[in-house]
């Protein structure tokens, strides 16, 4: 019987770790202007560290996930927490733009990835029921980052210089994340499976994982998540600029983004409950279809009230569908390789997220308008919907690791 009490502590630890990791990474936009004024570095040059962070997060996600399959979740999130705090501190004393880009972009991005896939894999192993709600709560914790760490960063930089502010966030990351990581425990389901079948040797494990990542189910999950994130990344990053181009004041335009983020918290919880009730695949497919048309709806809005309405629905949908990929992975792949599978989908999603800022900038520079960004997002979103439709669960849900090897 799975410990019904401690499993919620695992959820809380995952949400807290994700909130701090993502929040620390997304504190960079708050520091851009103070950094530029203090150092003379270009805004574009500083901003490019964020692009590097997304790419580093993508490349590191599957590696961290695979490592957690081998040595356990707690050592991985402990290592990632220590690396994140250290990288933030090092970034705060960078003396050149290139040094800052490499330290913040590569190290902070890679360290932030250490929480998502390993913790999602761990949480799915703790829950046989209410799994959708559990992973959605962890995701909601990550979604709290723009409403907690970012405002803290803004307050700090208004009182201190950016270097001191970043050092404080580094210290906070260590103080919050390391104790939270120590709360993480091995899923009972994994311990039972290993006790029943014995620990597989490295060759068998490698063969099992190699088989899994070549299955149509894994490839479809990767492609769906890539196209899903490519659909909403452009609208997320460029809606403030689009609203300003429509004549909406900057302060009001920023509030549109806040509405989107708040709606996303509700979406994560609602989609988790719906996934438990009606099935993760069914809810994901419907959510992807709605996401495509809500992204297109931005094309037709010009007034602040309409922006709020579309942003609320868009945030609710795109944030809601994201945790369902972890649920689908757990329902179809062996638990001992869950870090690798979820890490792979996270990698694809991060690559999808990296496309939006660049595509939106190119579209605006070419047409002096963001219109084609939203039309393109609609087309990509329809692609995600069609790809998700082709997903077919394995004949036997959650085959054990030995069956995966033998197959």
Rounded Cα gap, residues 108 and 124, in angstroms: 26
Q: Which has more confidence, 139 or 202? A: 139
Residues 217 and 165 in one domain: no
47, pLDDT greater than 90: no
Say if residue 44 is in the same domain as residue 150. yes
Confidence band of 400 (pLDDT split at 50, 70, 90): very low
Residue appearing with tokens 């004949």: 395
Measured CA distances, 48 to 313, 354, 357 (Å): 30, 11, 11
Instruction: Check whether residue 33 and residue 136 sit in a common domain.
Output: yes
Mean pLDDT of 14-31: 88
Residue 198, pLDDT > 50, answer no
Q: Please tell me the distance from the alpha carbon of residue 143 to that of residue 179, in angstroms, as a whole number.
A: 21
Per the prediction, the chain carries an average pLDDT of 87
Query: Domains in the chain: how many in total?
Result: 2
Note the pLDDT of residue 114. 93
d(CA 343, CA 116): 8
What's the pLDDT band for 396 if we cut at 50, 70, 90?
Answer: low
**pLDDT level of residue 146 (50, 70, 90 thresholds):** confident
Do 280 and 205 fall within a single domain?
yes
Do residues 181 and 65 both lie within one domain? yes
pLDDT confidence of residue 404: 40
Across 46-60, 141-155, 237-251, least confident range: 141-155
Domain CATH code at residue 237: 1.20.1250.20
pLDDT class of 175 with cuts at 50, 70, 90: very high
pLDDT at 405: 39
Q: Is 25 within 8 Å of 91 (Cβ atoms)? A: no
Question: What pLDDT is attached to residue 403?
Answer: 41
Q: 277-313 in b/e burial notation, b at 16+ Cβ within 10 A?
A: eebbbebbbbbbbbbbebbbbbbebeebeebbebbbb
Q: What is the DSSP string of 10-44?
A: HHHHHHHHHHHHHHHHTTHHHHHHHHHHHH---HH
Residue 202 has pLDDT above 50, yes or no: no
Please say which residue of 194, 224, 239 terminates a domain: 194
Examine the domain organization and report whether 59 and 190 are in the same domain: yes
* Residue 393, phi-psi category: left (phi > 0), alpha (psi -120 to 50), beta (remainder): beta
The reply to whether 232 and 373 lie within a common domain is: yes
pLDDT value for 292: 98
User: Which of residues 158, 178, 194 is at a domain's end?
Assistant: 194
**Same structural domain for residues 321 and 358?**
yes
pLDDT grade, residue 326 (50/70/90)? very high
172 and 249: one domain? no
With tokens 């962070």, the residue in question is: 53
Q: Which of the residue ranges 6-10, 120-124, 383-387, 402-406 has the most confident prediction, judged by mean pLDDT? A: 383-387
Same domain assignment for residues 115 and 49: yes
Q: For the whole model, what pTM was predicted?
A: 0.80
Q: Domain check: are 178 and 155 in the same one?
A: yes
Instruction: Tell me what pLDDT residue 372 has.
Output: 95
CB-CB neighbours of 369 under 10 Å = 11
Which percentage of the chain shows pLDDT scores above 70? 91
Mean pLDDT confidence for 300-314: 96
- Of the candidates 178, 189, 220, the one whose C-alpha atom is nearest the C-alpha of residue 78 is 178
Q: Is the pLDDT of residue 399 over 50?
A: no
- Domain check: are 43 and 61 in the same one? yes
Taking the CB of residue 108, how many other CB atoms lie within 10 A of it?
30
Q: What is the mean pLDDT of residues 117-142?
A: 86
| pLDDT for position 28 | 84
pLDDT beyond 70 at 205 = no
CA gap 183, 296 in Å, rounded: 43
* pLDDT band at residue 380 using 50, 70 and 90 as cut-offs: very high
Q: What angle do CA 222, 224, 227 make, to 5 degrees?
A: 105
Alpha helix (H) residue ranges in 198-337: 202-212, 216-245, 250-278, 280-297, 304-321, 324-332
Domain ranges, residue 6:
1-194
Q: What integer pLDDT is reported at residue 355 of this predicted model?
A: 84
Which residue, of 134, 168, 194, is where some domain finishes? 194
pLDDT at 236 > cutoff 70: yes
Distance, CA of 118 to CA of 133 (rounded, Å): 17
Which pLDDT band holds residue 193 (cuts at 50, 70, 90)? low
Determine phi and psi for 184, rounding to 5 degrees: -70, 135
């Amino acid at each position: 019987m799975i410990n019904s009490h401690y499993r919620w502590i695992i959820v809380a630890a995952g949400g807290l770790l994700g909130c701090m990791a993502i929040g620390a990474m997304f504190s960079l936009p708050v520091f851009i202007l103070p950094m530029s004024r203090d150092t003379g570095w270009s805004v574009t040059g500083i901003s490019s560290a964020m692009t590097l962070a997304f790419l580093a997060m993508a490349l590191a996600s599957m590696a961290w996930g695979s490592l957690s399959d081998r040595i356990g979740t707690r050592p991985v999130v402990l290592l990632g927490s220590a690396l994140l705090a250290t990288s933030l501190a090092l970034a705060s004393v960078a003396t050149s733009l290139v040094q800052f880009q490499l330290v913040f972009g590569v190290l902070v991005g890679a360290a932030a990835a250490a929480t998502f896939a390993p913790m999602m894999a761990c949480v799915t192993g703790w829950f046989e029921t209410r799994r959708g709600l559990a992973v959605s709560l962890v995701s909601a914790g990550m979604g709290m980052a723009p409403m907690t760490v970012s405002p803290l960063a803004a307050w700090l930089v208004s009182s201190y210089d950016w270097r001191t502010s970043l050092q404080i966030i580094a210290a906070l990351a260590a103080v919050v994340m390391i104790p939270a990581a120590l709360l993480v425990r091995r899923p009972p389901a994994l311990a039972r499976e290993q006790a029943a079948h014995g620990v597989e040797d490295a060759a068998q494990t490698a063969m099992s994982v190699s088989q899994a990542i070549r299955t149509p189910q894994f490839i479809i999950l990767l492609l769906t998540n890539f196209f899903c994130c490519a659909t909403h990344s452009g609208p997320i990053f460029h809606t403030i600029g689009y609203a300003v181009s429509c004549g909406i004041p900057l302060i009001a335009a920023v509030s549109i983004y806040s509405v989107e983020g708040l709606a996303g918290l509700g979406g994560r919880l609602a989609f988790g409950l719906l996934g438990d009730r009606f099935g993760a695949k069914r809810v994901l497919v419907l959510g992807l279809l709605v996401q495509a048309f809500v992204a297109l709806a931005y094309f037709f809005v010009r007034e602040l009230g309409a922006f709020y309405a579309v942003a609320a629905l868009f945030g609710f949908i795109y944030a809601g569908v994201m945790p369902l990929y972890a649920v689908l992975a757990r329902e179809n792949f062996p638990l001992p390789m869950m870090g690798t599978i979820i890490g792979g989908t996270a990698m694809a999603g991060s690559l999808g997220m990296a496309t939006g800022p660049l595509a939106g900038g190119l579209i605006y520079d070419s047409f002096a308008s963001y219109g084609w960004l939203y039309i393109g997002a609609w087309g990509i979103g329809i692609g995600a919907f069609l790809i998700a439709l082709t997903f077919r669960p394995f004949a036997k849900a959650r085959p054990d690791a030995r069956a995966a090897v033998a197959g």
